[in-house]
Structure formats: C-alpha cells, structure tokens
Structure 1
C-alpha cells in the first residue's frame, strides 16, 4: 500500500468516527431518511428484529424485519459485548472498519488493473452519499465490504474465497447474486470450471440460508421473498413504490414478477457482450440494479461510482459525464426538500418526491449508457488497431 492510499484510508476512518463523538444524534437523523435506509437495510428495523429474536419470536412474522437472518445472531453476539446504539463508539468503529476494508479492496483491484491505487479508495471514502449511508448504519455497508473482497479475490485468482464472499454479500443483499454471472468469468477459464464455480456459489448461498433457518427458525425463503415480492411499501429512491401504491392488489403479483424480470434480464446479455471486461460487466449490472431494484438507496450509487473509478482511462470518452453528474446532483438536492414538503408540511404530494426519483433514474441511465459506450469504443479501437477520432468518434458503430 502506498502512502497516498494509507492517508486516504486514515482520513476516511477519522471522518466516520468523529461524528459519533461530536454529534451523537446525527445517526438517528440520517437513519430516518428514506434516501439512505430502506426496509431491506435500515439499522432501526434491524434492532426491532433483534428485539423479536431475543424474545424468541419469529422475526419475519410481524412484518417489521426484512433483512438477512444471519444478521440477527451476529448482532446479538455483538450486543453481548457492547451497546448496539447507533452512536456507540464500538458500532462507529465497526462501520468505519467495514468501509476501510471496502476502500482497501478497491485500491487492490485498481492496482491489479495498473490504475491509480488511491483514487477509487478516495472516491469511496470521501463520497458524501457513502459517508451518509455509513453514519445511518445501513447494513448495505456490510454487503459492500463482502462484494469488494469477492472481486479482489477474483482478480487475484483466488476463486474459492471469492465465491464464498459473494455468497455472503448475496445473503445480505439479494441482488448481489446477479453478480455471480460476470464474476464466474474471472473464477474460471473453462465452461466446466465456471459451472463448478456457479454450483459452489449456489451451494454456499443455500448453506447460509439454511444456517439462518437453524439459528433463527425463519424459513430460508423469508428474506428473499420479503425483498423480491416488495412486501413493505415505503417511499424510496426507486421507481417501484409509487407504481404499486396506485395499483389494485389483484395485479400486484404479475407486475412484481415483471419488474423483477427487468432487473434480471440484463445479466446474461451484458456479461456475454462484455466477456473481455467482466469487471465492467459487473459494474454495469450493479448500476442497473441500483436504479431498478425494489429497495434502492444512495449507498448503492456510491458503490457504483467507486467501481467506475477503477476505469479511470475511459472518462475522457464519456460525453455525458457532466450532464449525468448534474442531473443526479439535482435529484439529490431536491429529494429531501420534496419529501419534507409532502410528509411534514403537507403542501405537496407524492408526485413531488416521485418526480425526483425519476430524474435520479434518468441521471443514472445517462451514466450507465455513456460509460458502456466508452468501454465498447475502447474495445473497438483495440480490436481494429486504430484510434477513433474527430467526426468518426461520433458515428455509430455496430459491433457484435
């Protein structure tokens, strides 16, 4: 690790621990923001699930807890050592350590790609939405650490640890299971090896779910069904909630399947087209699910931007980078204001906040489209052995 990366990690740790000491109430404020915490990641709902679990009650029966079952025994064991209050110093240290691990693994991946080692770590550690998500104590922080560890192991050639770590990430965030498809390109070079890796991933995921069943008594399908079937409708930065609030209950199952299919349908085509760049295929799929999954939050946006920072050489070819940044920033500024007008003042309605989420989705779409175009253009230049410049760079090229 070079000196710059170490300085970035140290600065990020201090930035995460200091608010717990100086502003103990900031965690409760941020945890109540729908942009930063959802039913699938909220620390408040995790503590409610822990309360039911400690009483010996089934945590999923009350319609309150919608997160991974293994988080309950893990945080119960942690609660026997220290306070689980979000402002407690041990919790602050734990979340800072998870973010530090994420940034460290991002720097290792960047080094393996012969890019600036410190830049992805800095983009992650000093990203305001990542910092706010960590201070809100979202469990997304846990899944991001496991995901980046899995990718770092895959790029280093350690396939088995990568498979197990991705299974852990998928256990906390069900949509990360999609990322097994692009990662299997890194796990093995033959079709038989990739099938074996995917089989091991499925077995590890089933083993984690069954372990959760043994420890909590909850059905192995309780958590996936709670997330995938959208059992808890609350406003968030996604496009689902308003649509399903306005829908008759009779049609909800059909459109739930359609919306989930939209999130999944890109996985195999994107991986096949970007088979020479499996890491970018992972980034692209993660960006799509960030926009289209049932319970999106801003922490996913921060992780997506941090992964894009691994491709520092493409941004000179991304024409809409400034536009997408301004559109997303516009949505991030207006979302809290419109939510306040709707919920607290009553001078607005749900359309205000939902319009901002659509703007947010447009900004993400522009960013995904332009970065994908830049990677394909670089691949075209490498295959053809020519640089596309001037007017030719703007001309559409059909490449299969």
Structure 2
C-alpha cells in the first residue's frame, strides 16, 4: 500500500467528517430518500429497533424493524462509547472506518494472484473509485446498514483470493446474515475456496458445511435475543415475500401495488426465482473467472432484488474497476453511464413530483427506475460479453482482437 493510497484514505475520512460537521442534517435528508435507503437498511428504523430492545420489548413487534439482530448488538456495543445518534462522533468514525476498510479490501483483491497477471489500476485509483463515488458517499452519510453488509462481502472476497478460506466463509456468512441475497454468491465462492485443492466433493462439502454452520450460529443470535424465531419472519420473511410495498429503485414495488392480493404469492416466487436463476449458469460459464462471476451476480442482484438502493451500484462499479483488462473490449460504457446518470438525476425529482407536489403519479418514478434498470443491464451484458470475448481470444492482451462479422 503506497503513500498515495493512504493519502486517499485520509482525504476521504476528512471529506466525510467535514460533510457531517458542515451539514449536520444531511444524514436525515438522505435517509429519507428511497433511492438511498430502504426499510431493510434504514438507520432510523435501526434506532427504533434498538430503543425497543433496550427497554425490554421485542424489536420485531409491530413491524417497525426488519434488519438483522446482530446490528442491535453492534450498535448497543457502540453506545457504550458515546451516543448512537446518526451524527455522533462514534457513528461518524465507525461508518468512515467501514468505508475505508472496504476500499482497503478492494486494493488487496487487485493484488491477488488471480489478478496479478493483468494490468491493474493503481491502488489509489481503486480506492478513490469507491471512496469518492457519490453513490457510496450518500449511502454512508445516510447511515445505511448496507455499508456494513457490503464491507463484509468485499472482505470475504479478499480473504478468498489469498486462500484464507475460513475467514472468507466467516465474512460471507456475516454478509449473508445481514443481506440474504449474498447467499447467491456461494457457488462462485466455492470456485475460489477450492481453487488450490480442486473442486472435489469432499472440499465442496467441507466449505458448504462450514458456511451453513456459521450461518446457523449467527441465526441463533436472534433466537437468544428475542426468545423466539419471530425475527425470521420480520427480517428474511419481509425481504423474501416483499411485505413492505414502499417505493424504491427496484422493479418489484409497482407490480405488487397494482396486483390483486390473490396473485401476490405466485409472482413473489417468480420474482425471487428470476433474481436467482442466473447464478448457476454464470458460475458455470465463468468458472475460469470466478471474480468476474461474483461481480456479475452482484450486478444482477442490484437490479433484481426486492429492496435495491443506489449504494449497491457504487459497490458494483468498484468491483468492475478491478478488471481493467476488459475495458478496451467494452463497447457501450458511455451509453450505460449516460442512461444511469439520467435516471439518478431524475429519480429524486420524479419522486418529489409524485409524493410531495402531487403533480405526478407513480408512473413517473417507476418509469425512471426502468431506465435505471436498462442502464444496469447494458453494463452487465457488455462486461460479460467483453469477458467472454477475451476468454475466446485466449489472452488478456487487448492488442490481440477478434474481428466479428
């Protein structure tokens, strides 16, 4: 890690501290934007759940809190060192540290053996792409708990790249405990975990068993905290069965608002199946590029899961920055960037027109989320095509190209 990278870490920390100091209400403003946080990641709802837990009431009574019980333990522990209000010093430092450790893990991944032969971006550039990404900055200042889930996921990738598989399994189990869609990454992670020993039945079984055991251990925390398994319905049940119909940047909410209740179970299963159906084909097809398989699946779940937010896009872009060798083969980067920028600018405006001014309707906001999805789809398919083209060429040297007719 060179001096420039550490300088980026310091500047990013100073920037976030300055924003919180100069604009103390910014976290509250961003926390109310449905593009930045959802009911599954909202810090406001986390505070309500923490208050209920501290006064001896189950935080999962009343349908207010839908996040993992481990967050309650974490923020109760942080409360011993100071106030856990969104703009307190301890929360500022904690969220800044989470972002910096995520950027550090990204730099570690870029130097891993699986990417060592490629011409990588400098560490300070990779760190900057994440730390100064406006989407990641907004998610951090809004105190979305997705920041912590993403840090655990990136940490799992970093440890897997260096064959520290037990730590990788632990981080992935933690990420899956806080965001159930991270379970989709288990198949490509198995390729990383067994890369040195070979994908034998014994090694696959060992790591799957370890992952299930760690996940069960984390799940038991909720039982011992609340004395029942009610939290499973309030957390994973709400996520999987889409119980909160609040608008977000995803595809689900409008369909289910317009749908008769009789059809909801069927289409819930269909939508969840759609978000999963790409996992195994991508894993099998990109078995030579497990890191790219992970990145593609992260991108797909960003647009297909029930409660997406723009911070997911920030993480996906940061992961893409690790694959510099595909950049010359990417065709539609400018188009995708303009489409996504267009949607990110118009989304809060259309939501404001609909909810606050009453001069628009749900179609305004949903139309722009469709544009956002189109932009994400262009990026995912374009990078996937570029990866397969390089594999077909048998080289990661962009100077050797294939003429397509």
Shorter-chain TM-score above 0.5: yes
Q: What's 2:269 paired with?
A: 257
After TM superposition, give the deviation of residue 335 of structure 1 in Å. 0.3
Query: Larger deviation: 194-203 or 354-363?
Result: 194-203
Query: Larger deviation: 299-308 or 105-114?
Result: 105-114
Return the TM-score normalized by structure 1. Answer: 0.95
Say whether the 8 Å CA contact 1:239–1:358 is kept in structure 2: yes
**Structure 2 residue 228 is matched with structure 1 residue 221:** no
**Structure 2 residue 137 is matched with structure 1 residue 131:** yes
Which of 290, 294, 297 lines up with 1:282 in the alignment? 294
After TM superposition, give the deviation of residue 384 of structure 1 in Å. 12
Q: What's 1:245 paired with?
A: 257
Say whether the 8 Å CA contact 1:17–1:89 is kept in structure 2: no
Q: Distance in 1 between the 2:321 and 2:219 partners? A: 33
Which of 162, 169, 178 lines up with 2:168 in the alignment? 162
Q: What's 2:105 paired with?
A: 105
Relative to structure 1, is the Cα distance of residues 386 and 237 closer, same or farther in structure 2, using a 3 angstrom cutoff?
Answer: closer
After TM superposition, give the deviation of residue 149 of structure 1 in Å. 0.9
Say whether the 8 Å CA contact 1:69–1:218 is kept in structure 2: no
Q: Distance in 2 between the 1:103 and 1:259 partners? A: 32
Say whether the 8 Å CA contact 2:105–2:154 is kept in structure 1: yes
Say whether the 8 Å CA contact 1:20–1:88 is kept in structure 2: no
Aligned pair count? Answer: 393
1:171-320 aligned at under 5 Å gives the runs 171-188=177-194, 189-191=198-200, 192-219=202-229, 221-222=232-233, 223-320=235-332
Q: Distance in 2 between the 1:355 and 1:121 partners? A: 33
Residue ranges of structure 2 left out of the alignment (5+ in a row)? none
Q: Distance in 2 between the 1:103 and 1:386 partners? A: 27
After TM superposition, give the deviation of residue 80 of structure 1 in Å. 2.9
Say whether the 8 Å CA contact 1:60–1:218 is kept in structure 2: no
Query: Larger deviation: 19-28 or 352-361?
Result: 19-28
Query: Larger deviation: 293-302 or 63-72?
Result: 63-72
Query: Larger deviation: 206-215 or 305-314?
Result: 206-215
After TM superposition, give the deviation of residue 27 of structure 1 in Å. 0.6
Residue ranges of structure 1 left out of the alignment (5+ in a row)? 396-400
Q: Secondary structure at the match of 2:69?
A: coil
After TM superposition, give the deviation of residue 119 of structure 1 in Å. 2.3
Relative to structure 1, is the Cα distance of residues 309 and 386 closer, same or farther in structure 2, using a 3 angstrom cutoff?
Answer: closer
After TM superposition, give the deviation of residue 304 of structure 1 in Å. 0.3
Return the TM-score normalized by structure 2. Answer: 0.94
After TM superposition, give the deviation of residue 55 of structure 1 in Å. 2.4
After TM superposition, give the deviation of residue 386 of structure 1 in Å. 11
Q: Distance in 2 between the 1:17 and 1:216 partners? A: 36
Runs of 4+ residues deviating >3 angstroms: 383-389, 392-395
